[in-house]
A and B are shown apart, each in its own frame.
Chain A
């Protein structure tokens, strides 16, 4: 071996050693520059080739090339090795226990009564109804008289009305039902009418576990040609099943309301015991949900609708009560406390 050859071999050995020793990409870059770069000894050897006599040049060139290839291959291997090691170091450094991360800002919650109302509205919208709203302060005429409850009608005494210091005595009140919205709808829109009226209503009631002075109700009104009591029964069956679930049955029982005739209370399968009988339903398997009936001809006459041409039905029930039944509220007063611990549950 020539001196030249021995020098090259030493160079390669040193270069390989250096490249194999690197542990970071920076060291690798420095080592590559030193071993393989333009100013490296290897580069000087390459440049020296030109000065060799042609018969030696071929062999020498092969040796330099071999050296370069060996060094390059080692550099590439070192790069792979260092990358793997660097990734491992980074992953180790970035290790995170996700269970130590605590909740950040949380979403607010819609009120349970509002959620219930939305869902009930959606059920009726799906059945082709519009949603009608009206004032909570009403005239005696809209709340009572137009609904076939003239002054001193005995049925009024059951309403525990809150009259207001507004206008002549007992002329203005907080609506006891959302029925005055039915009157406003019938006055404002010619039939056919398919509407529900959700909203707050008021009763002069001592607050207890089942009553609050203001609560939410939803009523429905349909006025069309040929509407029957069977339509009322079927509609109640449809929406109770849609809201409470297909296993819930409904039934109608004769009742009395001045604004409907025939009138009925409607009951659904007790949602607690699924009809088996429990304390909530007094062992009957049924829970009373609301009132309904065929719109009284006098009510239709009061809003100028011909009761021979058109007929209709109306129904009403408590939104709060639906929420109570579905979510197991034992005390309704919690609905007006605005206790965030309660609101956040739903």
Chain B
């Protein structure tokens, strides 16, 4: 909201540094988003008449003008504005003028032609946003006159304030002035503007009826006759302009002015265009339509909409939001009916949201106007309208609610919540300047009457905030509460961090993808099944909740490949969203997953699933997890013949392998991409597990190497398991150190060579013991897997 300082001064004597006043606004929660100095830098700008306009010999976009600046010396000025024309009065910045923004005017050549000054637009003079063309001044001004003086412009400051949703009272100049005057200890007063009524009673001219007082608790109308619609005085036009509103006609301008000054929207009708000479307020019915002032046909009645209708029930406005085109004020209007009402906040909010129609009026009504401020607003309107006669009396339908009971406020509660030590006198002194009345109600107790313009204040806590705000947040001494706990991460949170560090240490970087993906992203990643969609998303690209981390990671691989990093290794930890069968649960399943993608554009033999397997081994080892079991399996998105299901401690924790070649093709990714996707819970225990120390043997160990020829269908892990079982507790280490395929071994067969390290805790193993174990291991593998010991 734009608030000129000169307007604020109508209500309290604000002096001194405008920046300091801005800081006061900030400190009261009315945040200064902009501070604009206007009307400065107009020295050297004079009124001038354009005598002649002709083309520039060397440039199409600019023209040469001859202007008279009152000194009898026509001068040439180059002008780029399309609207410059002979005979116009314009604002000429003469040589040496320093325009707003420290822009100095000097005599200069424009494409070879001298320019003796500049013809200015409103924006160049800091007088508005209009930069479309030069400012054309009203007739009657004398060339050579100082521009600011001739136009009645004095320097001003405009604050652009952000007003919080709970402060409807501050959505006007008076409200801002009231708050700031209270903080600064300045006298604050709203001047009275008595209405000079004529003899004719209003009831003879118009009628009103309200059929839905629950939507419109107060509805009033005054009638002004003998109106001659014209232009507003310059000072009013300028105030509106500074506040960001365009002048339209004196009647409409007065209505807008009152809203900006007092926060009460009003609506003027051309009474002669209201059939039946009256207004009827009713609930909209399905099928009601109205062409609003902006020329749009609005469909109403799909909810609780409050309609303003003529006396015959035909809509002429949407209550509190926008008037209709049919009864608009026009130059020929002579009799004005001014509506001033108070509408139900929720009704305005719902209708405005449903119609997608937000106006200055609806913004104020939905936050809450002052039903008791209507008389003042209407009187102010009448005072602004020169000419015309105000009919006697005001039509008023008011479903007046019972006066709210005073709010009980405890000094002790204020201090306990704020950490302050205010006394029984200080609290009323903070509240009363902003319109509250606090009366003592016993020791440390106050009964506070809330003014009608503060609908946000209902309970004690609201008054606590009001006290804090006017006392000043910065005056409350900071303290730090001491937690009775020792802060720490849970075992799961610690484990998750460890896992991330392990992966990073292993050369894998952490990705974070948007959990919202585009339709088709899952399918492109080979994933099936149902996903949850956003209702009415802003962008289709972000409308489906991921059921897997795969789409995001593959997109990242593809993105990097197209940016010449085809060999990225990425992991992501994040939630995925899966509808449980039947979609019955109040919320979908939301497990936290880990996924790893290891890209190798060349698709080397030890890339892809091989690399993923090695990484998983590394992770399991570093996380002290043993006993993982891998079984060949298929899973959506995974390579059908290079994938294993991962089990740990009997639980299926996920899949290991590489991305399905079809998927890679669809995503335009070359080579192989190793892939792991597991439930994070499978790798990161919820409880801490402490590794128990194992005694180290001081006796020498013996190594034996055994190579077996087995069918391809026999997993190496199965052979290893047989060896482990046969060797028993004397097995200190077992590793598969060679896999060898050769036609001489037979097709579909391979040799697996293992090295077993045997060691006892309490003795050196004898040659006989080692030989015995060796024999048992060979027998076990041969009998269990149809294996042959290789020479």
Contact = CB atoms under 8 A, between A and B. Distances in A.
Contact of A139 (B165, B516, B532, B586): B586
B72 interface: no
B559 interface: yes
B487 A135 contact: no
B514 A164 contact: no
Interface in B490-529: 490, 493, 497, 500-501, 503-516
Contacts of B497: 118
Contacts of B479: 228, 230-231, 233-234
B469 A262 contact: yes
A340 to B, nearest CB: 5
Contact of A339 (B459, B559, B577): B559
Contacts of B565: 340-341
B165 A130 contact: no
B647 to A, nearest CB: 26
Interface string A195-213: 0000010101111000011
A5 B489 CA distance: 92
Given A138-B587, A164-B534, A254-B473, A262 B468 contact: yes
A132 to B, nearest CB: 9
Given A108-B510, A230-B477, A261 B485 contact: no
B588 A137 contact: yes
Given A228-B416, A256-B164, A108 B509 contact: yes
A229 interface: yes
A248 to B, nearest CB: 14
A135 B545 CA distance: 13
A264 interface: yes
A96 interface: no
Given A130-B487, A138-B587, A230-B477, A162 B539 contact: no
Contact of A108 (B504, B559, B579): B504
B487 A125 contact: yes
B509 A109 contact: yes
A23 interface: no
Residue picked from A170, A212, A214, most chain B C-beta under 10 Å: A214
A5 B312 CA distance: 155
Given A164-B533, A164-B535, A154 B504 contact: no
Given A118-B497, A338-B559, A163 B535 contact: yes
Interface string A118-160: 1001001111111100011111000000000000101101100
Given A205-B538, A253-B473, A261-B462, A154 B349 contact: yes
Contacts of B419: 228-231
A111 B417 contact: no
Interface in A140-193: 152, 154-155, 157-158, 162-167, 169-170, 172, 174, 192
A8 B518 CA distance: 101
Given A105-B507, A263-B465, A338-B511, A131 B493 contact: yes
Contacts of A114: 500, 510, 512
A202 B516 contact: yes
Given A109-B510, A229-B418, A139 B587 contact: yes
Given A152-B349, A253-B473, A206 B539 contact: yes
Contacts of B31: 253, 265
A200 B576 CA distance: 12
Interface residues on B, range: 35 or more
Contacts of B346: 152
B511 to A, nearest CB: 4
Contacts of B533: 164-165
A275 interface: no
B28 interface: yes
B483 A128 contact: yes
A139 B167 CA distance: 29
Interface in B412-442: 416-420
B481 interface: yes
B508 A108 contact: yes
A164 B545 contact: yes
Interface in B564-589: 565, 568-571, 574-575, 577, 579, 583, 586-588
A227 B483 CA distance: 11
B367 interface: yes
Contacts of A165: 532-535
Nearest to B583: A166
Contacts of B493: 121, 131
B532 A154 contact: no
A137 B418 CA distance: 35
Contacts of A118: 497
A254 B469 contact: yes
Contacts of A296: 461
Interface string B394-427: 0000000000000000000000111110000000
Interface string B22-39: 000011110100000000
A79 interface: no
Contact of B367 (A154, A311, A343): A154
Interface in A79-133: 105-111, 113-114, 118, 121, 124-131
Contacts of B575: 135-136, 200
Interface in A260-279: 261-265
B165 A154 contact: yes
Interface residues of A, number: 87
A270 to B, nearest CB: 15
Contacts of A194: 481, 483-485, 487
B481 A343 contact: no
Interface in A285-314: 294, 296-297, 311
Given A137-B587, A172-B587, A128 B487 contact: yes
A256 B469 CA distance: 12
A128 B353 CA distance: 44
B693 interface: no
A252 B464 CA distance: 16
B717 interface: no
A212 B483 contact: no
B751 to A, nearest CB: 30
Contact of B417 (A167, A229, A234, A337): A229
B563 interface: yes
A339 B474 contact: no
B590 interface: yes
A126 B512 contact: no
Given A214-B515, A262-B464, A343-B509, A294 B485 contact: no
Interface string B344-385: 001001100100000000000011000000000000000000
Contact of B515 (A105, A192, A200, A235): A200
Contact of B166 (A125, A256, A265): A256
A45 interface: no
B417 A228 contact: yes
B520 to A, nearest CB: 17
Contacts of A337: 556, 559
Interface string A224-250: 101111110111011000000000000
A13 interface: no
A107 B555 CA distance: 22
Residue picked from B366, B512, B514, most chain A C-beta under 10 Å: B512
16 contacts: A128-B482, A131-B493, A137-B545, A162-B516, A164-B534, A165-B533, A194-B485, A206-B539, A224-B481, A226-B416, A230-B478, A253-B26, A253-B473, A338-B512, A338-B559, A341-B563
Interface of A: 105-111, 113-114, 118, 121, 124-131, 135-139, 152, 154-155, 157-158, 162-167, 169-170, 172, 174, 192, 194, 200, 202, 204-207, 212-214, 222, 224, 226-231, 233-235, 237-238, 251-256, 261-265, 294, 296-297, 311, 335-341, 343-344
When A and B form their complex, which 5 residue pairs have the shortest distance between CB atoms, in order from nearest?
A128-B483, A254-B29, A230-B419, A228-B419, A234-B478
Given A202-B516, A254-B473, 16 more contacts: A107-B507, A108-B506, A108-B507, A125-B489, A130-B487, A163-B536, A192-B483, A194-B483, A200-B515, A229-B417, A235-B481, A237-B478, A251-B473, A252-B473, A311-B416, A339-B559
